[in-house]
Chain A
Amino acid sequence: MLWLALSTLLSYWRRHPGQLLTLLAGLALATALWSGVQAINAEARASYDRAAATLGQDQLSRLERPDGRPVPMADYIALRRAGYMVSPVISGELRRDGARLRLLGIDVLTAPPQAETPAIAGGDLDLVEFFTAPGLLLMSAQTANGPLPGDLPPIRLSEDVPPAAAITDISTAARLLGQTDVSYLLVATEQPAGLPPLANATDLALTVPQNAGDVSRLTDSFHLNLTAFGLLAFAVGLFIVHAAIGLAFEQRRATVRTLRALGLPLRTVLAAFSLEIAGLALISGLMGLVLGYAIAAALMPGVAGTLRGLYGAELTGSLRFDPLWAAFGLAMTLAGAALASVQAMMRMARLPMLAPANPRAWAQASARAMRTQAVAALALFGAAVLFATLGSSLLTGFATLAALLLGAALALPAVLGVILRLASRHANSAFGEWLFADTRQQLPGLSLALMALLLALATNIGVSTMVGSFRATFIGFLDQRLASELYVTTQSTDEAGRLIAFLADRADATLPIVSIDTPLAGAPAEVFGMADHATYRDHWPLLQALPDAWDRVHSGQSVLINEQLARREALALGAPLTVTPGLTLPVAGIYSDYGNPSGQAIIGIDLFQRTFPDVPVTRFALRVTPDDAAALASALRDDFGLPADRVLNQTQIKRFSLDIFEQTFRITGALNILTLGVAGFALLTSLLTLAAMRLPQLAPVWAIGLTRARLARVELWRSLILAALTFLLALPVGLMLAWVLLAIVNVEAFGWRLPMQIFPGDWLTLLALALIAGTLAAALPALRLARTPPAILLKVFAHER
Chain B
Amino acid sequence: MTALLEIDEITKRFTGEDSPVEVLRGLSLTLESGQSLALTGESGSGKSTLMHLAAGLDTPDGGHVRIAGQDIGTLDDSARAKVRRDRIGLVFQQFNLIPSLTVTQNIAFQARLAGRHDVDHAADLTRRLGLWDLRHRYPETLSGGQQQRVAIARALAGRPDLILADEPTGNLDEATGDAVLDLLLDLVGDTGAALMMVTHSSRLAARLDRRLHLSRGLLAAPPGTG
Mark A residues whose CB is within 8 Å of B: 1, 4, 8, 11-12, 14-15, 254-255, 257-267, 353-354, 357, 801
Contacts and interface: CB of A to CB of B under 8 A. Distances in A.
Contact of A262 (B52, B105, B110): B110
A328 to B, nearest CB: 35
18 contacts: A8-B101, A14-B100, A15-B99, A255-B99, A258-B96, A258-B98, A261-B55, A261-B57, A261-B92, A261-B96, A262-B84, A262-B85, A262-B90, A263-B82, A263-B85, A263-B86, A263-B114, A354-B58
**The 4 A-B residue pairs with the shortest CB-CB distance in the complex, in nearest-first order:** A263-B85, A11-B100, A263-B84, A265-B78
Contacts of A801: 94, 171
A268 to B, nearest CB: 8
Given A15-B138, A262-B90, A801-B171, A255 B84 contact: no
Given A15-B100, A258-B96, 20 more contacts: A4-B112, A8-B98, A8-B100, A11-B98, A11-B105, A12-B100, A14-B100, A255-B100, A258-B97, A260-B81, A261-B96, A262-B90, A262-B154, A263-B82, A264-B81, A264-B113, A265-B78, A265-B81, A266-B81, A801-B171
A262 B113 contact: yes
Contacts of B58: 353-354
B77 interface: yes
Nearest to B49: A354
Most buried by A among B52, B55, B83, B99: B99
Interface in B115-168: 138, 154
- Classify chain B: how many residues form its interface, as a range: 20 to 34
B11 to A, nearest CB: 17
Contacts of B97: 258
B163 to A, nearest CB: 13
B172 to A, nearest CB: 13
Nearest to B101: A11
Contacts of B88: 263
B113 A263 contact: yes
B98 A255 contact: yes
Contacts of A261: 55, 57, 84, 90, 92, 96
A787 B98 CA distance: 27
Nearest to A16: B100
Contacts of B57: 261, 353-354
Contacts of A1: 113
A12 B100 CA distance: 5
B135 to A, nearest CB: 16
A766 to B, nearest CB: 41
A264 B98 CA distance: 14
Nearest to B79: A265
Contacts of A254: 96
A354 B109 contact: no
A263 B100 contact: no
Most buried by A among B83, B84, B98, B109: B98
A5 to B, nearest CB: 8
Interface in B56-91: 57-58, 77-78, 81-86, 88, 90
B27 to A, nearest CB: 18
Contacts of A258: 96-98
Nearest to A259: B98
* Best-buried of B94, B100, B101, B138 by chain A (most CB within 10 Å): B100
Contacts of A255: 98-100
Nearest to B98: A255
A12 B101 CA distance: 8
A421 to B, nearest CB: 27
A738 B116 CA distance: 66
